[in-house]
Chains A and B, each alone.
Chain A
Amino acid sequence: MSMGERFKPHRGPRLASLERRLFLRQGLSLGALALLSGCELTEDESVQRVLNAMSRWNDGVQSWLFDPARLAPEFPESRITKPFPFNAYYGRGEIRRVDPGTWRLEVGGMVREKRAWTLPELNQLPQVSQVTRHICVEGWSAIGKWSGVRFSDFLRRIGADLTAKYVGFKCFDDYSTSIDMATALHPQTQLSLRFGDQLLPPEYGAPVKLRMPTKLGFKNPKHIAALFVTNANPGGYWEDQGYNWFSGS
């Protein structure tokens, strides 16, 4: 059984409203909400409002704590986790595949050159490697090796406005996420084309994923189809359901 299936109950896609009601009822019954008053309905809403506000506050604190020069620890290749866990919002049987010959990386938003990139073009750019720890929001971690284009190099090459606040990602498995510009420019943030010593396989995000050892796993988009630079926070698949947006390590 894959990690993705094993933890499905904890990530129940699109059950957000039902689950929110459940969690509020539990919260109320626990009396942990004694600090908040009002009728039950407003209590539900105000609790969620407080929790959301705290999550945004934590975004700010994490952004302040983030040191753009501090590198995530790197490991010898002997410590690579084998087999590396598969995880997604769907099971292993639903992994989307694309013809690498027709795949294009669309580039948009606050960038000078909005043309799409092919896989050979990305392969021709200078390549870097890292052996780093991937940490999942579920708690587990695994060490892997990724190679590809340093993302800050790519952003400079497409003439991205580096003073913009966010970079958003749309993936062809209908996933999406977004990151802060400081993390986008971190030296270990990588547009990955390889996993281990092979081309990025479908379960790990073929043909291109973004690897960030300074963010939790779900912030590392796989199967990227388009990226865009913007000043409006684009949110993301899990972020919009209540997972913390910054989710930095």
Chain B
Amino acid sequence: MPAATVPLHPLAVRITHWVNALALLAMVLSGWRIYNADPLFGFVFPDGWTLGGWLAGALQWHFAAMWLLFGNGAAYLAYGILSGHFRRKLLPLAPRAALRDALDALCLRLKHDDLSIYNAAQRAAYLGAMVLIVLLVLSGLVLWKPVQLQGLGLLMGDYEGARYLHFFCMAGIVLFVVAHVLMVALVPRTFPPMITGKLRRSL
């Protein structure tokens, strides 16, 4: 008789996942308020969706939560690389298969029987989210320290270029979160293991 549950997500992944969710929430909502002070495009975010109450408050949140995002992200990347977690779960990356799986998911016909194996679309999305967050941190550093980090700034079109990169990476990560939450809603049994770490065997 096999055990009723199997281990799925290691503790380190679960902790960093939820801390990251919290940090991203604070960063995005306070970031929207900061964006509103000088919109890059012809729209602003509704004040009720933002964090901080006014520009100074939003900046306080943003520059406090950035340490949480950075520290937690660094711990996650170190764990993922050193433990072999990334190699086992996210590699190899197959662009063509990722596209096919993404289309299947859109048509609601993607099979997700074994939750311990990420499909190609998931692998691409999770790696893409990591790249976006790294770019958000780098462009954010240039916005914070455009003089001290001017070498890094040159790679992204100086201060003004970094503003656009920061905005588009934010848009990308928000899209990712929307799709991610939608997929969890479609396959709800993926949700409890991200808290308990264990997957109940479906017999």
Give A contacts to B, CB under 8 Å.
Answer: 7, 10-12, 15, 19-24, 26-27, 30, 32, 34-35, 50-52, 54-55, 58, 62, 65-67, 70-73, 133, 135-141, 213-214, 238, 241-244, 248-249
Contact = CB atoms under 8 A, between A and B. Distances in A.
Most chain A CB neighbours (cut-off 10 Å) among B37, B56, B63, B67: B56
A30 B159 contact: no
Contact of B35 (A20, A21, A30, A139): A139
A139 B25 contact: no
Given A55-B63, A133-B159, A249-B145, A20 B37 contact: no
12 contacts: A7-B38, A11-B55, A12-B54, A20-B53, A23-B54, A30-B29, A54-B63, A62-B145, A67-B148, A137-B55, A138-B38, A244-B63
Nearest to A242: B56
Contacts of B25: 30, 32
A179 to B, nearest CB: 15
A140 B38 CA distance: 6
Nearest to A11: B55
A17 B55 CA distance: 14
Given A139-B163, A249-B146, A238 B56 contact: yes
Given A10-B37, A32-B26, A138-B38, A26 B61 contact: no
B159 A66 contact: no
B55 A138 contact: yes
B63 A65 contact: no
B60 A249 contact: no
Interface in B61-76: 61, 63-64, 67
A34 B22 contact: yes
Contacts of A11: 54-55
A73 B51 contact: no
B59 interface: yes
- Give 3 closest A-B pairs by Cβ, nearest first: A23-B53, A54-B64, A139-B38
A238 B54 CA distance: 13
Given A15-B54, A26-B51, A243-B56, 12 more contacts: A7-B37, A10-B36, A20-B57, A30-B25, A66-B148, A135-B159, A137-B55, A139-B34, A139-B35, A140-B38, A241-B56, A243-B59
Interface in B133-183: 145-148, 150, 158-160, 163
Given A51-B60, A54-B67, A137-B59, A32 B22 contact: yes
Contacts of B145: 62, 65, 248-249
